[in-house]
Amino acid sequence: MPMTVTEIRQGLASGQFSSVEITRDYLQRIAQHNPALNCFISVTEDLALQQAGAADALLAQGNPGLLTGVPLAHKDLFCTDGVKTSCGSRMLDNFIAPYDATAVERIRDAGAVMLGKTNMDEFAMGSSNENSWYGNVANPWNTAHVPGGSSGGSAAAVAAGLAPAATGTDTGGSIRQPAALCGVTGIKPTYGRVSRYGMIAFGSSLDQGGPFARSAADCALLLQAMSGFDARDSTSSDTPVDDYSARLEQGIEGLKIGLPKEYFAEGLDSRLARVIETAIDELRKQGAEILDISLPNTHLSIPTYYVVAMAECSSNLSRFDGVRFGHRCENPVDLEDLYKRSRGEGFGAEVKRRILIGTYALSAGYYDAYYLKAQQLRRMIKNDFQTAFDSVDLILGPTTPEVAFKIGAKTDDPVSMYLQDIYTISLNLAGLPGLSLPVGFVDGLPVGMQLIGNYFDEARLLQVAHRYQQVSDWHLQAPEAFS
Ligand code: GLN
């Protein structure tokens, strides 16, 4: 059974194995299984072994940091100093980042070892990892199925035991949805909790970084390392960071958990609903009080998101012009030709679709009808949550409407693909934290349950997930083909 970060820390502290040994094990597993899964875009073997050697020296001195010697992987959206950072795009296939993202820097300062960079949908646009320039990623539970997206490489790598943990980013569900589809735990923190500095921007008012791991206790460690104020991100929050691990063991007696009726309505596969109801019964047994609530504007979240996210991406991606970053076409005849062909060749179909729609929505004459309207709906969606949090401590629902679908099943139908995020996207619009944890299987594929917290209530999400993981073993299951 693949190890957790918690177990690796114990093994390193007790001298059961060294960081170099465990790092070599993971590099060997990557070499063996990555051809079937395609979860890594780059494997940084030399760097990993060098960092592991340095970690072993620190461990020998008896003064380790939070993650000293623990190997992990980063989504290829985080800039990594001196290492290719492609964002899943041909546009950045030749881009070597000249600095580390803040989240990467903090994880490195905590002592972690970087195994490599994980595959993802191009510029984080997608729900299935089928939009990557580097090819799709397979779901380790059934390689004919998608791992979810856009952080599909990170989720699949953790599920298959190619890394004990990995980073991801979530603009509309890209941590929680692949975590659910791959049977791992992932948390998207409150907007502003983890610095966006050095994260290649998609929708700047929605993007948040966070961790994937095998357990809530592991996510607590990773999130602790990643979180906190950063002067280099103007939207970073100076709210103090809780001690996530210290709060894990608090019980959940008397905790009021709300079930939004809109999340258990038409559209949710009834087999998933049954699995989630069993998990809810377990939380009730642990002392939680379960209440019915309503988030009446849920149906507006997908259309609202696809105006806001596309508008923001059309602006963010204008910097990729063939002049300053990444791909440049051969022999341009003039500046316009350079822009057109560099962008035409560098971006894939989904990215182009979104830049076009976003540019349209922001154009003079349409701004009020689309962008302004979307901002108004966004406020209504946020207010729904605030009203709900007047009567409950936490909101619970499914993470996705169905389990992992077959590769290719939705590629010709973008709207059906967009609907995958129906339960996750509204949190990004509101800026709220959400966690997905595995609670069972349907057709041999994992089912994720989502916990939604009030602003900066990550500790409570981790605590409830941890409580559930103390009395269940879904999170410890591993796909047989990669054991
Ligand atoms: N699936 C959503 C999209 O395609 C969300 C992606 C994300 O969170 N990065 O935009």
pLDDT in tens, 160-216: 999 999 999 999 999 999 999 999 999 999 999 999 999 999 999 999 999 999 999
Per-residue pLDDT of 283-303, as tens digits, reads 999 999 999 999 999 999 999
In the reported structure, the alpha carbon of residue 128 is separated from the centroid of ligand 1 by a whole-number distance in angstroms of 9
With b for 16 or more beta-carbon neighbours within 10 A and e for fewer, the 104-139 pattern comes to bbbbbebbbbbbbbbbbbbbbbbbbbbbbbbebbbb
User: What is the predicted pLDDT for the residue at 69?
Assistant: 98
Confidence class for position 46, pLDDT limits 50, 70, 90: very high
Index of the ligand 1 atom closest to the CA of residue 125: 4
In the reported structure, the alpha carbon of residue 176 is separated from the centroid of ligand 1 by a whole-number distance in angstroms of 10
In a domain? residue 36: yes
Interatomic CA distance for residues 435 and 212, integer angstroms: 10
Confidence class for position 325, pLDDT limits 50, 70, 90: confident
- Single-letter code of the amino acid located at 18: S
Token readout for 57 is: 């020296």
In a domain? residue 478: yes
Which of 278-287, 352-361, 409-418, 469-478 has the weakest average pLDDT? Answer: 409-418
In a domain? residue 342: no
In a domain? residue 228: yes
Q: Are 423 and 398 in contact (CB under 8 A)?
A: yes
In the reported structure, the alpha carbon of residue 39 is separated from the centroid of ligand 1 by a whole-number distance in angstroms of 18
Alpha carbon dihedral 324, 329, 331, 337, in 10-degree steps, equals -80
Percent of the chain residues past pLDDT 90, beyond the cut: 95
Claim: this prediction has a pTM higher than 0.75: yes
Token readout for 63 is: 């003064």
SS3 (DSSP) at 165: strand
Q: What is the mean pLDDT of the chain?
A: 97
CATH no. for residue 68? 3.90.1300.10
Token readout for 119 is: 């595959």
Q: Which residues pair with 8 in a beta bridge?
A: none
Interatomic CA distance for residues 310 and 306, integer angstroms: 6
In a domain? residue 246: yes
The count of structural domains within the chain is 1
Task: Residue 205: give the domain boundaries.
Answer: 5-255+391-482
* Ligand 1 pocket by Cβ (under 6 Å): 124-127, 150, 170-174, 202, 309, 421
User: What is the predicted pLDDT for the residue at 130?
Assistant: 97
Q: Which residues pair with 210 in a beta bridge?
A: 168
